[in-house]
Amino acid sequence: EAGVAQSPRYKIIEKRQSVAFWCNPISGHATLYWYQQILGQGPKLLIQFQNNGVVDDSQLPKDRFSAERLKGVDSTLKIQPAKLEDSAVYLCASSFATDTQYFGPGTRLTVL
Amino acid sequence: QKEVEQDPGPLSVPEGAIVSLNCTYSNSAFQYFMWYRQYSRKGPELLMYTYSSGNKEDGRFTAQVDKSSKYISLFIRDSQPSDSATYLCAMTFTGGGNKLTFGTGTQLKVEL
C-alpha cells in the first residue's frame, strides 16, 4: 500500500513570496491533516479535512495560510505572503475516519 | 504552560540499555495516548497506542499510562542503534475529532 505522498520535499523562498505544498493521502482515507513542525517542537495541527469539508482550522493563520481539498482526495496548502517564522516542516497525514494517522515525509520550508 | 510536556533530550545510551521516555500532560480529558517515532527527515510513524490507564507491551516496547498522575512513559528494552530517532508522545480524547496534541519530542541516540 502506497503511503502519504508530499511534494516538494524541500523549498527555499524569500519572505513575502508565496509557496504551495501538495499532498496525496492513502487511498480510501477520508480524513486529511496538515501539521506544522517547527525545529525542536512537536507537530501542530493547522487544518483537518473530512472528505472535502473542513473539520478544524482553528490554528490556521488565515490571513496568510489557505488550504483546499478538492474532490476529497489531494490537498494543497498555500502560504501567501511567507514570513521568516513560517520556516518549518509541513507534514500531511491521513486516516480512515478517526483511526490511526499516517504521516507523509513532509516538506521542509526555509524562508530567507 | 504547555498541554503536553516532554524532555527534549538529547538522550544518549549504550546499545542494550533500557530507555525510559516520559511525558506529562495537564488536560485530564485526554484518553488516548500514542508514541510516534520520527527518524531524521522523515514523517512520524505510530509506535504504540494505548487507551486510558495501564500498560501495553509490543516486542521490546512497553507503553505505560498513569492518568491519576497525568504521566505516560515509553520503555525500550535492549535498545539498538536503529532505535536512534526522535520519540514524540501524542494524545487526544473522545469527541476531539482525532486532533492530536503532541509533545516536543525526545531525541534518542543509541551508541555502539
Give contacts of B7 with chain A, Cβ < 8 Å.
none
- Is-contact A65 A77, C-beta < 8 A? yes
Ramachandran assignment for B53, one of left (phi > 0), alpha (psi -120 to 50 degrees), beta (any other): beta
- Is-contact B101 B8, C-beta < 8 A? no
Check if A98 contacts B (Cβ < 8 Å). Answer: yes
Check if A43 contacts B (Cβ < 8 Å). Answer: yes
Q: How confident is the model at residue A49 (pLDDT cuts 50, 70, 90)?
A: very high
- Is-contact A98 A31, C-beta < 8 A? yes
B contact test, residue of A6, A9, A37, A108 with most B CBs within 10 A: A37
Give contacts of A97 with chain B, Cβ < 8 Å.
98
Q: How far is B97 from chain A (nearest CA, A)?
A: 7
CA–CA gap between residue A99 and residue A102 (Å, rounded) = 9
Percent over 90 (pLDDT), chain A: 88
pLDDT score recorded for residue A1: 63
Give contacts of A106 with chain B, Cβ < 8 Å.
41-43
All 3 cell numbers of residue A20? 504551495
β-bridge partners, A91 = A35
The mean pLDDT of B31-48, rounded to a whole number, is 94
Number of other CB atoms surrounding residue A11 within 10 Å: 18
Give contacts of A59 with chain B, Cβ < 8 Å.
none
pLDDT score recorded for residue A86: 98
pLDDT 10s digits, B60-101: 999 999 999 999 999 999 999 999 999 999 999 877 778 899
Q: How confident is the model at residue A105 (pLDDT cuts 50, 70, 90)?
A: very high
pLDDT 10s digits, A70-96: 888 999 999 999 999 999 999 999 998
